[in-house]
């Protein structure tokens, strides 16, 4: 795979301008502040239960594993551990996608050291009278373009639930760390510090900026979707996260390109609001859906489609080339139809495009068949190469092949 900076340089004037705000060469690790994401806070004794009743993932499962009764000794070098984040979606009653959310729980206050490294009171258990650490607070990073409608939607569902819902984007920002070195190295070797940054690291000078996060124990956490996406986190707006050196901070479109090449959509622009079927956009493979939890909005369609066992269309990475296999820059716009060049039949639609790369929702049988030649409907000189991601489970295409053989 070509270095990220070199690939962006080939993607046209708009993408080349990214190089002035990003690193001069591919450093292996990049960090981007995600202006496309906003931060919403759900706070109250019923926050976790409220979210669990609405969202596709099992929010209570994470809560149960992070709030088991236990005693804590004053161990000076023990870091505050926030529970792992979760990825989830809110659907329409008909099972169509509305919003995606990354859910974060602050580390329990009883596990946090103060700024001097002093330990918490011996025997103090997580939580307290305010309920924090006991389902009392959940932060969510959401699509910034939809944050007002998202807030109104959740407030309509709130009814008598004891939960406050607020936009706290002026207080917090969402960041992502990604790249080849982050994706392919285990946390125990390349990035041992990335899972323990924040409060409780009295001797960790790399974490000093995160220690400004008042009571929350801010830290980088593994992206809940895929290892290749790196680390994600919410940090106070007035600080730079730890491990983000100035020469490695990059424009968000670097992260967009990384997601495009791995076939991962994010937000209501890339996953059409009110239209998209979550399983076609691979949300099950991205750990956004629990098939074991109780009821949630839109569950019936999701369960029926899942147990049927065959998803005939999926979001897949694309590359746009000419007849000589040379990549074409800025040649395709989102919404362009992809057709089989021989038959002229529509195979799918491009959903996202950046330079010579994109993603599209395509019929797998026509896309992945041997010797398939795909093109853009209104410009047959632009050929479309579909690239099956390495992270796809084998059964996604094996089941389709079995169905085709039977037919």
| Rounded CA separation 340/363 (Å) | 11
pLDDT(63) > 60? no
Predicted TM-score of the model (pTM): 0.80
Q: Which of 258, 316, 254 is nearest to 18 (CA)?
A: 254
> Residue holding tokens 């993603």?
359
Look at residue 29 in the predicted model and tell me its pLDDT: 87
Distance CA 222, CA 229 (A): 8
Residue 326 has pLDDT above 70, yes or no: yes
- Is 116 exposed, middle or buried (CB count within 10 Å of its CB: 0-12, 13-18, 19+)? exposed
Q: Give the pLDDT of residue 248.
A: 81
Range with top average pLDDT, 107-116, 215-224, 243-252, 319-328: 319-328
Count of other CB atoms within 10 angstroms of residue 178: 24
**Per-residue pLDDT tens digits for 216-263:** 457 899 999 999 999 999 999 988 888 887 668 899 999 999 999 999
Give the three-class secondary structure for 147. helix
Across the chain, what does the average pLDDT equal?
79
pLDDT of residue 82: 67
9-56 confidence digits (pLDDT tens): 444 444 434 433 433 345 578 999 999 999 999 999 999 999 999 999
Task: List the alpha helices (DSSP H) in 241-390.
Answer: 252-262, 267-270, 299-308, 364-367
Give residue 105's region: left, alpha or beta (phi > 0; psi -120 to 50).
beta
- The percentage of residues in the chain with a pLDDT greater than 90, rounded to a whole number, is 59
> Taking residues 326-348, what's their average pLDDT?
95
Q: In this predicted model, what pLDDT tens digit does every residue of 91-105 receive, in sequence order?
A: 999 999 999 999 998
DSSP string, 301-344: HHHHHHHH----EEEEEEEEE-TTS-B-TT---TT-EEEETTT-
Q: Is 84 helix (H, G, I), strand (E, B) or coil?
A: coil
| 141 pLDDT higher than 90 | yes
Q: What is the pLDDT of residue 28?
A: 79
Residues found in the chain: 407
CATH 3.30.1360.120, the chain: domain bounds: 26-60+82-110+135-196+211-307
Q: Please, what is the end-to-end C-alpha distance for the chain in angstroms?
A: 38
Task: State the CATH class of domain 26-60+82-110+135-196+211-307.
Answer: alpha beta
Location of structure tokens 């918490």 = 120
- Of 157-166, 277-286, 390-399, where does mean pLDDT reach its minimum? 390-399
Least confident of 113-122, 158-167, 252-261: 113-122
Q: How many CB atoms lie within 10 A of CB 148?
A: 11
Q: Which of 104, 237, 258 is nearest to 182 (CA)?
A: 258
The Cα 86–Cα 96 span in angstroms is 20
Q: What is d(CA 316, CA 318) in angstroms, rounded to the nearest whole number? A: 6
SS3 at position 139: strand
How many degrees, rounded to 5, is the angle at CA 105 between CA 231 and CA 74? 100
Is pLDDT at 68 greater than 80 in this prediction? no
User: Which part of the chain is CATH 2.40.30.110?
Assistant: 310-405
Q: Three-state DSSP class for 400?
A: helix
CATH number for the region 310-405 comes to 2.40.30.110
């Amino acid at each position: 795979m070509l270095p990220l900076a070199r690939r962006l340089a080939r993607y046209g004037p708009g993408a080349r301008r990214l190089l002035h705000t990003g690193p001069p060469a591919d450093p292996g690790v990049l960090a981007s502040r995600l202006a496309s994401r906003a931060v919403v806070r759900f706070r109250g004794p019923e926050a976790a239960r409220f979210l669990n009743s609405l969202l596709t993932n099992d929010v209570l499962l994470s809560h149960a594993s992070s709030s088991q009764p236990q005693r804590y000794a004053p161990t000076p070098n023990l870091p505050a551990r926030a529970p792992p984040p979760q990825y989830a979606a809110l659907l329409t009653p008909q099972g169509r996608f509305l919003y995606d959310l990354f859910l974060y729980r602050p580390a329990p206050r009883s596990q946090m050291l103060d700024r001097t490294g002093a330990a918490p009171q011996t025997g103090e258990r997580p939580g307290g009278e305010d309920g924090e650490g006991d389902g009392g607070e959940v932060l969510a990073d959401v699509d910034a373009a939809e944050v007002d409608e998202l807030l109104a939607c959740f407030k309509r569902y709130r009814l008598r639930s004891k939960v406050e819902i607020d936009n706290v984007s002026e207080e917090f920002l969402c960041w992502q760390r990604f790249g080849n070195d982050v994706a392919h190295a285990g946390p125990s070797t390349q990035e041992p510090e990335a899972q323990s940054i924040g409060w409780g690291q009295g001797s960790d000078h790399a974490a000093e900026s995160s220690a400004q996060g008042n009571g929350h124990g801010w830290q980088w956490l593994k992206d809940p979707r895929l290892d290749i996406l790196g680390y994600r986190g919410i940090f106070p707006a007035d600080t730079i996260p730890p491990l983000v050196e100035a020469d490695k901070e990059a424009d968000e479109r670097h992260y967009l390109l990384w997601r495009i090449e791995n076939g991962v959509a994010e937000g209501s622009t890339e996953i059409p609001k009110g239209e998209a079927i979550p399983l076609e956009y691979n949300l099950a493979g991205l750990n956004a859906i629990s098939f074991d939890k109780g009821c949630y909005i839109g569950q019936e369609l999701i369960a029926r489609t899942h147990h049927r066992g065959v998803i005939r269309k999926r979001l897949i990475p694309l590359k746009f080339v000419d007849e000589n296999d040379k990549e074409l820059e800025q040649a395709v716009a989102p919404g362009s139809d992809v057709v089989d060049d021989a038959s002229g039949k529509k195979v799918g639609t491009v959903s996202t495009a950046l330079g010579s790369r994109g993603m599209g929702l395509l019929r797998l049988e026509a896309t992945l068949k041997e010797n398939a030649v795909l093109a853009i409907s209104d410009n047959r000189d632009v050929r479309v190469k579909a690239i099956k991601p390495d992270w796809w489970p084998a059964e996604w295409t094996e089941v389709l092949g079995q169905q085709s053989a039977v037919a």
